[in-house]
Amino acid sequence: MTATYPISAEQIRFYQENGYIQLLNVLTAEELAQARQALDEVLEQQLDQQHEPGGDAEYRKIFVQKVNLWQVNEGMRQYVFNAKLAEIARQLAQAHTVRLWHDHALIKMPGDSKASSWHQDIPYWPMQEDGSLSCWMALDDVYVENGCMAFIPESHRLGRLEPINLRDPQDLFKLVPEEQARTLDFTARYQPMPAGSCTFHDGRTFHYAGPNQSAKPRRAIITIYMPNVVHYNGNSHIVTNDLQLEPGATLTGERFPVLAQEA
């Protein structure tokens, strides 16, 4: 895989100030084809509960989700361990090291599709520290009509809010204290982009994807990176439930490999 994708100081500044950034044409044509093939292979596999969380029919209308595919498919491992993507994450987070939290594929099926609720990611992750970030890679061209990502700039500055139920249309914005709400522009910034392009966003950034109103599935692979040392906060999560971790334990070891490190 291509080793580098240049990130400028201005792009790092934009990410740090806004909590997200869009990067175009990050994957080469070969890398994109390889990622698509790997995902197609995974979709044909019978996965266990740890890699394919259950979810009722209504939840699957939001998206079909498959987790930690790097553990079950060599092509997905090759994608997730892409040093180019991990180094982008490291630079954006201004971290010495980034580890993998987990990957997951999100497929919005056409037809009876629903929007995801506006939400933050970090309330669902069992981490004491903030600063983890996601790479949302488009495997298909994405636009508003098929459920591209949208963000609220600077919303990561609000810190962690209460987790919302993603199955219900709860209003995340009502959780923002009125005094803080007056300081932000809550206009959504939609991120249409060609396949092979991606967004990175902080785990505290408000984001959402609308329904897929097209005739084809909208496929994306998300890789979540943790900067430096992150400690377990004791909350339940499918990625950690079998590890029998004590609160305060560091999220390290084979489950959370280092993907990029400052030279």
| CATH number of the structural domain spanning residue 80 | 2.60.120.620
- Cα angle for residues 134, 62, 66 (degrees, 5° grid): 55
d(CA 217, CA 226): 29
DSSP state of 155: G
Q: Locate 79 and state its tokens.
A: 């994608």
d(CA 157, CA 180): 9
d(CA 70, CA 19): 26
- Whether the pLDDT of residue 159 is over 50: the answer is yes
Q: 103 lies in a domain?
A: yes
Q: Locate 13 and state its tokens.
A: 């500044």
Q: 222 lies in a domain?
A: yes
Q: 243 lies in a domain?
A: no
Q: 80 lies in a domain?
A: yes
Q: 83 lies in a domain?
A: yes
Q: 95 lies in a domain?
A: yes
Across residues 166-190, what is the average pLDDT? 86
Q: 1 lies in a domain?
A: no
Q: Locate 220 and state its tokens.
A: 């994306």
Range of the domain at 189: 9-238
pTM: 0.92
Q: Burial letters for 63-84: b for 16+ Cβ neighbours within 10 Å, e otherwise?
A: bbbbbbbbebbebbeebbbbeb
Domain count along the chain: 1
Across residues 117-130, what is the average pLDDT? 95
Cβ contact 22:189 at 8 Å:
no
Across residues 156-182, what is the average pLDDT? 86
Residue 223: alpha-carbon gap to chain centroid: 6
Across residues 68-77, what is the average pLDDT? 94
Across residues 37-47, what is the average pLDDT? 83
Cβ contact 106:39 at 8 Å:
no
In this predicted model, what pLDDT tens digit does every residue of 83-111 receive, in sequence order? 999 999 999 999 999 999 999 998 888 87
Q: 254 lies in a domain?
A: no
d(CA 247, CA 249): 6
- Average model confidence (pLDDT) across the chain: 90
Residue 105, beta-bridge partner list: 66, 221
In this predicted model, what pLDDT tens digit does every residue of 203-242 receive, in sequence order? 999 999 999 999 999 999 999 999 989 999 999 999 999 9
Instruction: Kindly calculate the radius of gyration of the chain based on its CA atoms and give it in whole angstroms.
Output: 17
- Cα angle for residues 211, 106, 186 (degrees, 5° grid): 50
